[in-house]
């Protein structure tokens, strides 16, 4: 994989729904913008620049902090439906009539809800390390996952457990990704305050138990979908990806070996190229 540096882009702001959203737009000047929807406790500076560089080579890429997250104002939504409304308000405020979306983890749940609520807005959807909620037969996450994810502060070992497989190759890739991400985090200090991530945790748990989840409605989601995960994801079992692929009308499925929840950073170059190919229509 190529050696990368964080993209050089400025933080901008736009107001909508009473929130001052922080965002960055970079990459190719033309094309359907790709909007990235982030994970639990993730900010605009928690995306791996190695992945951003590949995606930005072919299209405009937009990363943003939702309400109450990172550099944005307001209070986080208490449920996935509310987070999807914030995402729609942000996109509308930018004057965009159609976008592609890539949602990772919690962001994937938001992406599904957004595509269901606003089918005219979402052209294509990429679902990474996520699930539709309410898949009863899916293996549950180990109890340790939430014990680690809900620590006041996570260290590198926490992230290696949550996002990467317990193998020398995956852990080495994880450490390299953490170093790349740290280039921006060390400068910005971006973080998610406890009151925000506690609301996010409640929204994720409700979604996972099937409350207002997308699972029963996946047949309505007409946007072509690319679904991807690591085969050893301890946070969102890869069975969820398979379950989505069986219900979505137009879906393709990718599973990455020796990888976990952070497969999109471990395989940043390959996954980025797969996303570009999927969106290149």
Residue 160's H or E segment, with its range, is: helix 156-163
Size of the chain, expressed as the number of residues it contains = 281
pLDDT tens digits for 118-167? 999 999 999 999 999 999 999 999 999 999 999 999 999 999 999 999 99
E strands, the chain, in order: 12-16, 19-27, 34-37, 60-64, 99-104, 122-128, 225-230, 251-256
pTM: 0.95
For the chain, list residues with pLDDT below 70: 1-9
**pLDDT digits 0-9 by tens, 205-236:** 999 999 889 999 999 999 999 999 999 999 99
Cα 62–chain centre separation: 12
Q: Where are the beta strands (DSSP E) in 113-196?
A: 122-128
Asked whether 249 and 227 are in contact (CB, 8 A), the reply is no
Which has the closest alpha carbon to 49: 57, 244, 226?
57
All structural domains of the chain: 12-279 (3.40.50.1820)
- Return the closest-CA partner of residue 54 out of 278, 268, 254: 268
Helix or strand or coil: residue 225? strand
Residue 196: what pLDDT? 97
- The answer for 18, left when phi > 0, alpha when psi is -120 to 50, beta otherwise, is left
CB 240 within 8 A of CB 132: yes
Q: What's the rounded Cα separation, in Å, for the pair 203 and 197?
A: 10
* Residue 253: Cβ-neighbour burial (10 angstroms; 0-12, 13-18, 19+): middle
Which residue do the tokens 């699930």 mark? Answer: 131
Among residues 279, 276, 233, which one has the least CA distance to residue 255? 233
Q: 255 is written with which tokens?
A: 């599973």
In order of 24, 80, 116, 212, 224, the CA distances from 279 in angstroms are 20, 25, 19, 28, 9
Asked if 66 and 17 count as a contact pair (C-beta separation under 8 A), the reply is no
Six-digit token string for 23: 């965002």
Amino acid 212: pLDDT: 85
Question: DSSP character for 223?
Answer: S
pLDDT value at position 11?
A: 95
pLDDT at position 8: 52
């Amino acid at each position: 994989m190529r050696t990368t540096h964080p993209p050089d882009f400025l933080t901008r702001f736009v107001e909508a729904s009473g929130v001052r959203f922080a965002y960055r737009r970079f990459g190719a000047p033309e094309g359907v913008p790709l909007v990235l929807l982030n994970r639990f406790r993730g900010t605009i500076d928690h995306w791996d620049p190695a992945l951003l560089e590949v995606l930005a080579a072919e299209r405009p890429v937009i990363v943003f902090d939702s309400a109450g997250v990172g550099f944005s104002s307001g209070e986080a939504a208490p449920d996935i439906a509310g987070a999807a409304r914030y995402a729609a308000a942000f996109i509308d405020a930018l004057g965009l009539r159609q976008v592609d979306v890539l949602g990772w983890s919690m962001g994937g749940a938001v992406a599904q809800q957004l595509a269901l609520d606003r089918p005219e807005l979402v052209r294509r959807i990429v679902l990474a390390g996520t699930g539709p909620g309410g898949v009863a037969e899916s293996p549950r996450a180990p109890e340790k996952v939430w014990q680690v994810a809900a620590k006041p502060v996570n260290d590198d070992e926490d992230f290696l457990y949550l996002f990467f497989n317990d193998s020398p190759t995956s852990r080495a890739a994880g450490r390299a990704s953490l170093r790349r991400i740290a280039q921006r985090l060390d400068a910005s200090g971006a973080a998610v305050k406890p009151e925000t991530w506690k609301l996010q945790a409640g929204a994720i748990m409700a979604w996972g138990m099937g409350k207002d989840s997308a699972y029963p409605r996946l047949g309505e989601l007409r946007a072509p979908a690319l679904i991807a995960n690591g085969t050893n994801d301890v946070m969102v079992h890869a069975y969820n990806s398979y379950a989505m692929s069986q219900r979505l009308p137009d879906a393709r499925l990718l599973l990455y070996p020796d990888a976990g929840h952070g497969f999109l950073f471990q395989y940043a170059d390959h996954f980025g190229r797969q996303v570009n190919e999927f969106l290149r229509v």
